[in-house]
Amino acid sequence: MSSPLRITVAKRTASVAAQLTELGRQTFQATFAADNRPEDMATYLAENFSLEKQLAELQDPQTTFLLAHMQQELVGYAKLSLNSVLGLEEGKPATGRLEIERLYVREDWLGTGLGATLMRRAIEEARTHSCRTIVLGVWEHNRRAVEFYKRFGFKEIGRHAFQLGDDVQNDLILRKGL
């Protein structure tokens, strides 16, 4: 018997953008609101999770969204970007690199294995595109996520600034070779 969980590549439509906007705002808020000022959260959400921004991200040919549906309900997603320069020395080619920009799972799905399923599928996508490296940025204080990525073999290779409203935070840059 097959699982009712489906992971699919997103269609590049306004209705999918609306779903990403809603789930992105919901999961980002649930994960980070307690540790950040409300005004910084509001600014970040407005700038990064508008319908227009999500539709533009969907339209980018270098970007793929993997959607996790249980029944007909979106419960998680991953945003993948080809040829990422994250953590790359200046002047080095970005080809063969995939960045996991977001791996978001609805709060009531944390701890169910959904994140691991999305990660395995992201790794498959990297291999499909002949990528040799996967990179990602994760907030240094998000210990749960850092440990999750390390279980998949990601290693810290650097740090970079992450702007959340007026607050400049530190993200760890993690890398996994394929």
Domains, the chain, ranges and CATH? 5-177 (3.40.630.30)
Give the whole-angstrom CA distance, residue 115 versus residue 66. Answer: 12
How much is the pLDDT for 2? 56
How much is the pLDDT for 92? 86
Q: pTM score, two decimals?
A: 0.92
User: What does the block give as tokens for 176?
Assistant: 């996994």
User: What does the block give as tokens for 116?
Assistant: 């691991």
Residues of the chain predicted below pLDDT 50: 1
User: What are the DSSP calls for 119-163, one per residue?
Assistant: HHHHHHHHHHTT-SEEEEEEETT-HHHHHHHHHTT-EEEEEEEEE
Q: Is the distance from CB of 178 to CB of 126 less than 8 angstroms?
A: yes
